[in-house]
Amino acid sequence: MTQNENLAQLSKAGVAVWLDDLSRDRIRSGNLQSLVDERSVVGVTTNPSIFAAAISGSESYDDQLHAMAVRRVSVEEALRTITAADVRDACDLLAPVAARTGRDGRVSLEVAPGLANDTDATAAEAAHLWWLVDRPNLFIKIPATVEGLPAITSSIAAGISVNVTLIFSLERYRAVIDAYIAGLEQRQAEDPAASFEGIESVASFFVSRVDTEIDKRLDAAGADPSLQGKAGVANAQLAYQAYEEEFSSDRWKALEANGAKPQRPLWASTGVKNPEYSDTLYISELTAPDTVNTMPEKTMQAYADHGRAGTPVQSTYADAEKVLQSVSDAGVDLDDVFRVLEEEGVQKFVDAWDELTGSVKEQLEDKK
């Protein structure tokens, strides 16, 4: 089938197009395969909110839920069995993409968000999910909390590919890169013969949520309206500058010489929240080599229809610094913004996880 030209051009520019959604219906109906064939999709991300919507809104899970209800399995076991099955099937569907590209064809599954502030529990669940899905093109999503950083390191050292999620600040992003590199170094130190083959990582840097929070504070401060809708992109552009710097260091080159792959920046939260902004803003303005953009289907279809690449990210660093400085000068405490966004991000996923757990529990009881 013919690939959409706009998305194909985005791929040629070095941006891996991933779908930010998954359900059993997408897999069984052929919808996911059609997005791979026609929309240049080479990866999939999930989160508790996505699974909550998928399971509560479909009959495709009924037979499996009935079987588990009869067996009287726990809610937690049922939840992980269901989500792991969908992710495993998506991994199988994307296996040809993984074989072709060597880097993509990945599907992400998140550790329970309630563990975000527990290093040991996060690392243990990451290992369990890696074993449970048992597919080489899996990513385990670990939040970029302070407690999550050591879990990233230990997971990478164990050969588990990681999608680091909920990154908002440049400072935390550099700490995430350090955690990834430290994991590779630890793996090499523990076993000099250990291979880096197949170990991948992406760092999910959130974009639209930054604008939502900063725009609110700019409005409250009576700041220049022209600053609105600028900080999210500027923040991400400077993250790409950090990526270029960190992965050109001598420390990194020593690992790269032994076959290690750099941790790619992934632009997350790319659906526009403010209808006054271009619906392709967080794709067009973040076009750069060796990046991933994970998109809701609505955003993907918008770019397929009328998207165009904007100014190359590498030429935006000076302007991006000016934007963030202007936002700060207007009275917005950026450190507080990023702290609030991380706390809210974890809580939103916890709430979605609780909703998902409640939905599965209710359906198990109904199908006894």
Is residue 1 predicted with pLDDT exceeding 60? Answer: no
> Hunting for tokens 């074993």 — which residue is that?
131
pLDDT at 86 over 80: yes
CA distances to 10, 104, 211, 340 from 152, rounded to whole Å, are 30, 20, 27, 22
Annotation says 141 is catalytic = yes
Please tell me the total count of domains within the chain: 1
- Tell which residue, 206, 181, 359, 211, has the closest CA to residue 275: 211
Taking the C-alpha atoms of residue 262 and residue 243, their distance in angstroms, rounded to an integer, is: 9
Active-site hit among 141, 261, 322, 368: 141
**219 burial level (CB within 10 Å; 0-12, 13-18, 19+):** exposed
Q: How far apart are CA 368 and CA 118, in angstroms?
A: 35
Calculate the average pLDDT of the chain. Answer: 95
Note down the domain range covering 74. Answer: 5-366
- 36-66 pLDDT, tens digit per residue, is 999 999 999 999 889 988 888 788 988 898 8
Could you tell me if 288 and 240 are in contact, meaning their C-beta atoms sit under 8 angstroms apart?
yes
Closest CA to 216 of 229, 235, 233, 234: 229
Quick one: which H or E segment has residue 264? strand 264-268
Cβ atoms of residues 105 and 95 within 8 Å = yes
Higher-confidence position of 64 and 2: 64
Alpha-carbon distance 358 to 177, whole Å? 36
| Residue 368 reports pLDDT greater than 70 | no
- H or E segment to which residue 110 belongs: strand 106-110
Mean pLDDT of 65-90: 92
* Structure tokens belonging to residue 347: 């809580």
Average pLDDT over residues 134-142: 98
What average pLDDT does the segment 140-157 reach? Answer: 98
**pLDDT at 129 > cutoff 80:** yes
Q: Can you give the length of the chain in residues?
A: 368
Mean pLDDT of 118-125: 97
The domain that contains 234 carries what CATH number?
3.20.20.70
When pLDDT is cut at 50, 70 and 90, the band that residue 342 belongs to is: very high
Distance CA 188, CA 258 (A): 10
* pLDDT, mean of residues 344-352: 93
Confidence (pLDDT) at 271: 96
Sign of the CA dihedral with 169 first, then 337, 268, and 196 last: positive
Tokens of 3: 């690939």
Region 75-94 average pLDDT: 95
Q: Mind listing the pLDDT tens digit for each residue in 255-295?
A: 999 999 999 999 999 999 999 999 999 999 999 999 999 99
Show the tokens assigned to 298.
Answer: 């609505």
Percent of the chain residues topping a pLDDT of 70 = 99
- What pLDDT was estimated at residue 52? 87
